[in-house]
Structure 1
Amino acid sequence: MQLLKRVLVIAALFYLPLQSQAWSLTGHRVVGGIAESYLTPKARKAITALLGNESLAMVANWPDFVKSDPAYNYLSNWHYINFEDGFSFQAMHDFLEKDTSVNAYTKVNFMVKELKKGNLSRETKIMYVKLIVHIIGDLHQPMHVGRLSDLGGNRVKVMWFNEATNLHAVWDDKLVDFQQLSYTEYINAINFTTAEQRKAWQSDSFDKWIYDSYAISRKLYEEIKQPDQKLSYRYNFDHIKTVNEQLLKGGVRLAGVLNGIFG
């Protein structure tokens, strides 16, 4: 019995972190790879000096990997920001201007400001770059701006084809992985932008990124009419355009942030 309890506890420790990931391994690498394609030469040189042979795509999942190390438990709240229903853009803007809690919005702002100062240790710079790459990807996954009451859709139980899962997981990995593409194939399939699009997306304020994800998440919640609702081919057909656009926006905006810091 004691052995069984230990096995269950260990299983739970490995299961729980997966519930707060975003975009899966593939999705995060797509965001990082897209960003890399839009770096300025100066930013690329500075980032290479920090990361060496590691690409943005390959460091993008580091913040999820370190969840297995208790020393990094303090990062758990950095991956998301929750809101209940009923926020207008102006109300969210006003809230975020005064927000001092630990969440994706405050911590990305903090790390960007610190990196711009340029007086950090090399190790801290590397960690902050990896975190920014990951968290900006997180914020473009709509359920990372979900409701606190259901843990960003983790408590909204659905069926993905015949698999019991939840709404958060569907948007974390089920939809991305359903395309059956490697991250390089995925980038090649969706990374088509105009200079006007990139300028517009990179000019959007940080609070607009969050509000856009918030607005998408509210529509996703409304579509779930009953517990264990079955989602399958039609759900993919209806939502893959949104998935791809959010991945693309995440990469383009990430490039804009990194260029602003290093370029």
Structure 2
Amino acid sequence: MKISIFKKLLLGIAIIYLPVQTMAWGTNGHRISGQIADSYLTPKARAAIKAILGNESIAMTSNWADFIKSDPQYKYLSSWHYIDFDKEYSYPEMQAFLKQDTTTDAYTKLNFLIGELKKKNLPKANKLLALRMLIHIVEDVHQPMHTAHTDDKGGNDIKLTWFNNQTNLHSIWDSQLIDFQQLSYTEYVSWINHPTVAQRAEWQKAPISQWLYESSQIATKIYAGVKDGDKINVYKYNFDYIATLNNQLVKGGVRLAGLLNQIFGA
């Protein structure tokens, strides 16, 4: 009995702790991008996705990949959530790097998942896992710190103070800047989900390499704005970065919709 209680305690700690290490966007951030994606699905894609997810929305399923980290059976998925770079790349350099990329990361696994979901005879359980992971990873790579530096774990090792609370650069971009707006995820979507038709077309036309390049360029600017140990002026930080953050949330949702439409048919 004591062992059982101890195991439950460890599981509870894991649920709280593990997602913080590699989670991109917090719970609300993923739901925001997921809800935005839902608004741009074609009828055919919507029907195909419902056949896989049932009554679970894209917004709600988008956090599954973080929550499941508490289960050791899914530990192998941890490195699927990000791709770190050892230097700042030009776009041609990044394209060349990705062309040779064979590691287990967000780029290689996105391509793998797209291929899996295009298979006509993929078992339903495999489809469910693949769809949940694809939704989550597309959203992940639009959080700039998930395309950041290898040597500081995407900003996790840059310790900062936010409203007198100890945090880190990665966590600020995961959740604290979003939570500072004090909006539900549906209210947040109503606020920011207003891209033009031309913007949607341009964003959806871009290849995955372009997504990663854009995010990594933003990460470079984010790094330049802080140093380890800083006490953040939250109001100024919000003023400086909220438009960038919101644009990434919208781009992630629009591009996710475009990819799902492509996979499941226009």
For the superposition of Structure 1 and Structure 2, which TM-score range results when normalised by the shorter chain?
over 0.9
**Residue 52 of structure 1, CA deviation:** 1.1
Matched residue type, 1:258: L
Measured against aligned partners, the alpha-carbon deviations of 1:19-40 in whole angstroms (never above 9, x if no partner) come to: 2111111010011100000001
**What is the match of residue 134 of structure 1?**
136
**Residue 15 of structure 1, CA deviation:** 1.7
Residues 1:45 and 2:51 aligned together: no
1-structure distance, mates of 2:70, 2:160: 27
**What is the match of residue 23 of structure 2?**
21
Matched residue type, 1:214: S
Q: TM-score, normalised by structure 1?
A: 0.94
TM-aligned CA distance change 1:189 to 1:69, over 3 Å: same
**What is the match of residue 191 of structure 1?**
193
Relative to structure 2, which stretch is displaced further, 170-179 or 83-92? Answer: 83-92
**Residue 16 of structure 1, CA deviation:** 3.5
**What is the match of residue 146 of structure 1?**
148
2:82–2:141 CA contact under 8 A, matched in 1 = yes
Match of 1:248 among 238, 247, 250: 250
Match of 1:220 among 217, 222, 231: 222
1-structure distance, mates of 2:206, 2:220: 21
**What is the match of residue 63 of structure 1?**
65
Q: TM-score, normalised by structure 2?
A: 0.93
Match of 2:110 among 103, 108, 111: 108
* Residue segments in structure 1 that go unaligned for 5+ positions in a row: none
2:14–2:70 CA contact under 8 A, matched in 1 = no
1:111–1:128 CA contact under 8 A, matched in 2 = yes
Measured against aligned partners, the alpha-carbon deviations of 1:188-214 in whole angstroms (never above 9, x if no partner) come to: 111112111110000011101000000
2-structure distance, mates of 1:152, 1:231: 21
**Residue 86 of structure 1, CA deviation:** 2.8
1-structure distance, mates of 2:122, 2:221: 41
1:142–1:217 CA contact under 8 A, matched in 2 = yes
1-structure distance, mates of 2:175, 2:144: 12
**What is the match of residue 91 of structure 2?**
89
TM-aligned CA distance change 1:7 to 1:184, over 3 Å: closer
2-structure distance, mates of 1:179, 1:118: 43
Matched residue type, 1:178: F
**What is the match of residue 125 of structure 2?**
123
* Residue segments in structure 2 that go unaligned for 5+ positions in a row: 1-5
**Residue 227 of structure 1, CA deviation:** 1.9
**Residue 168 of structure 1, CA deviation:** 0.2
**Residue 49 of structure 1, CA deviation:** 1.0
**Residue 98 of structure 1, CA deviation:** 1.3
1-structure distance, mates of 2:41, 2:75: 31
1:158–1:231 CA contact under 8 A, matched in 2 = no
Match of 2:167 among 157, 165, 168: 165
1:78–1:135 CA contact under 8 A, matched in 2 = yes
**Residue 50 of structure 1, CA deviation:** 1.0
